[in-house]
Amino acid sequence: MKNSMLIAFMTAAAAFAATPANAQTEIQWWHAMTGANNDVVVRLANDFNASQQDYKVVPVFKGSYADTMNAGIAAYRSGNAPHILQVFEVGTATMMAAKGAVKPVQDVMKDAGETFDPKIYLPAITGYYSTTKGEMLSFPFNSSSMVMWVNRDLLKKAGLNADQPPKTWPEVFEAAAKLKTVSPTCGFSTAWTTWANIEQLSAWHNVPLGTRSNGMDGFDTELKINGPLQVRHLAKLAELQKDKTFDYSGRTNASEGRFTSGECGLFLTSSAFYGNVKANAKFDYAAAPMPYYPDVQGAPQNSIIGGASLWVLGGKTPAEYKGVAKFFTFLSDTDRQAKLHQDSGYLPITKAAYEKTKASGFYKDKPALEVPLLELTNKEPTENSKGLRFGNMVQMRDVWSEEIEAALAGKKTAKEALDAAVERGNQMLRQFEKTAAR
């Protein structure tokens, strides 16, 4: 008797405990955010889960951007895909080409009956992840742009005016030559070499990277990165590399420590580097807009974004998509976006969040965080500065980096290197076109 009571009680208890869990639809969110940004992801998921009863967002950290995308692809191919996959900006073309494997965010929102107005988002950011017709394909999550970080103390030490950091490339070269007298191993440098010296450079000067609006209009695009501007820039860098007025810092952000340690006085990298600078730089610092060549007409144009967006993968149930849509609505909330922006240093994706932050006087204390936004909205984007969409972009960046490295090492001239980059890159584009254009 006692026993059966106990069993009945336990069954009831188990059923009670299990019911809410069963009724909840689980949404898997695979991401690549580390450090403080990981905490932000976890907090967003927790807040969302606490805000309603029907859905549960489960964030899973999958390693680097490439690891995360790899894992997502492998999982999709074997039918275990997550609902939401965070993909870095260079994976955009690959994701887009996979018809059926992804569900455009626009459709997710519409099908779920969520109110969705693409106009509330900042076009400089969502444009990168939209079709030419303005259909939003993925949901921008963490966006950044490239800025020039300035070590004000070092500038002063070199006898430069720290309140007027160099604006143009010729000024940068001049300043770097002086900086080299106080820090002989590095005048200035850049992280993410192709992003800085090819992609951003071209957009900022309104010069095409490739035909068909940098590939945004179709996969039959061809590279144009061996134009006079890019060749001239690379040739100058190669010349300055010889005496370390410019010193190469690699393909990724692994050497960003050269700025925070005070070695490089001028350093171009992501605006999202802010958190590290704040934590590690033991000197007075500032962020300035990217330099430009004043003799190029129309420069500066506007910068393009980097970072990652959230893709919704195909083959899930309507109930699950509804949960995803609700989560995106939750993320778009103005207060939340403003807070996200202010906490993480990533850019806000809605106009309202930007306005709100501006109105709050936030940028007065932290002007560094507004610089990327000013760059992005500097002018109305043209077909050369909306963004870029090349297939196999991850491998493409490797190829471009290889050729840049060959030029900087003096093995090739700038022209030879960029010609080779175009030729090899075009082969990759044709190969991508073969797999995707069906």
What are the backbone angles phi and psi of residue 219, rounded to the nearest 5°? -80, -5
Q: Does 219 interact with other proteins (rule: CB under 8 A)? A: no
Segment contacting other proteins (CB under 8 A): 10-18, 74-82, 172-180, 196-204? 74-82
Q: Is 21 in the site for other proteins (CB under 8 A)?
A: no
- Residue 260 lies near other proteins (rule: CB under 8 A): yes
Residue 283 DSSP SS3? coil
Site residues for other proteins, window 158-197 (CB under 8 A)? 185
Asked if residue 209 lies in contact with residue 225, where contact means CB atoms within 8 angstroms, the answer is yes
DSSP string, 90-158: GGHHHHHH-BTTEE-HHHHHHHHT----GGGB-HHHHGGGB-TT--B-SEEEEEE-EEEEEEHHHHHHT
> Which of 280, 317 has the CB closer to other proteins?
280
Told to check if 368 binds other proteins by CB under 8 A, we report no
- Structure-token match 């560094």, residue found: 368
Gap between the Cα atoms of 328 and 326, Å rounded: 5
Question: Count of residues binding other proteins (CB under 8 A)?
Answer: 80
Q: Is 200 an interacting residue with respect to other proteins (CB under 8 A)?
A: no
Q: Residue 287, interface with other proteins (CB under 8 A)?
A: no
Out of 91, 166, 381, 425, the residue judged to bind other proteins by CB under 8 A: 91
Rank residues 71 and 325 by Cβ distance to other proteins and give the closer one.
Answer: 71
Cβ nearer to other proteins, comparing 349 with 408? 408
In the complex, the smallest distance separating the C-beta of residue 27 from other proteins, rounded to whole angstroms, is 14
Within 10 A of 426 (CB to CB), how many other CB atoms are there? 14
Q: Which of 9, 11, 77, 380 binds other proteins (CB under 8 A)?
A: 77
One of 34, 46, 51, 164 touching other proteins (CB under 8 A): 34
Amino acid at 354: Y
Specify the stretch interacting with other proteins by CB under 8 A; choose among 47-55, 211-219, 256-264, 367-375. Answer: 256-264
Residue 299 Cβ, how far from other proteins at the closest point, in Å? 27
Q: How far apart are CA 102 and CA 139, in angstroms?
A: 12
10 near other proteins, judged by CB under 8 A: no
Q: State which residue, 65 or 292, has the beta carbon closest to other proteins.
A: 65
DSSP 8-state class, residue 287? E
Query: Footprint of other proteins on residues 46-65 (CB under 8 A)?
Result: 60-65
Spatial distance between the Cα atoms of 363 and 353, rounded to a whole number of angstroms: 13
Interface with other proteins (CB under 8 A), residue from 4, 22, 78, 297: 78
Kindly tell me which residue out of 145, 151, 194, 249 binds other proteins, with binding defined by CB under 8 A: 249
Looking at beta carbons only, is 221 or 260 nearer to other proteins? 260
User: In 3-state terms, what secondary structure has residue 387?
Assistant: coil
Give the footprint of other proteins on residues 401-430 (CB under 8 A). 401-403, 405-406, 408-409, 411, 428
Instruction: Please report how close the Cβ of residue 258 comes to other proteins at its closest, in angstroms.
Output: 5
Contact, 185 vs 265, CB < 8 A?
Answer: no
Which of residues 13 and 409 has its CB atom nearest to other proteins in the complex?
Answer: 409
Work out how close the CB of 1 gets to other proteins at its nearest, in angstroms, rounded to a whole number: 40
Q: For residue 139, what are the CA distances in angstroms to 125, 274, 293, 341, 392?
A: 10, 23, 34, 15, 21
Q: How far apart are CA 430 and CA 237, in angstroms?
A: 30
Question: Tokens for 99?
Answer: 């018809």
Nearer to other proteins, 255 or 337 (CB): 255
* Residue 433 makes contact with other proteins by CB under 8 A: no
Q: Give residues 141-160 in contact with other proteins (rule: CB under 8 A).
A: 142, 144
Nearer to other proteins, 189 or 302 (CB): 189
User: Strand 84-88 vs strand 306-313: parallel, antiparallel, or unpaired?
Assistant: antiparallel
Yes or no: say if 227 and 293 are a contact pair by the CB < 8 Å rule: no
**Binding-residue pattern over the window 341 to 360 for other proteins, x denoting contact by CB under 8 A:** ----x---------------
Tell me how far, at minimum, the Cβ of 404 lies from other proteins, in Å.
9
- Minimum distance from residue 314 beta carbon to other proteins (Å): 9
Which residue of 140, 166, 187, 262 would you call a contact of other proteins, by CB under 8 A? 262
CA-CA-CA-CA torsion sign (384, 390, 396, 397): positive
Beta-strand runs (E) in 3-122: 25-31, 55-61, 84-88, 102-103
Q: Are strands 55-61 and 102-103 parallel, antiparallel or unpaired?
A: unpaired
Binding of residue 45 to other proteins (CB under 8 A): no
Query: What is the rounded CA–CA span in Å between residue 61 and residue 109?
Result: 25
Report the residue from 5, 21, 100, 119 that binds other proteins according to the rule CB under 8 A: 100
Amino acid at 264: C
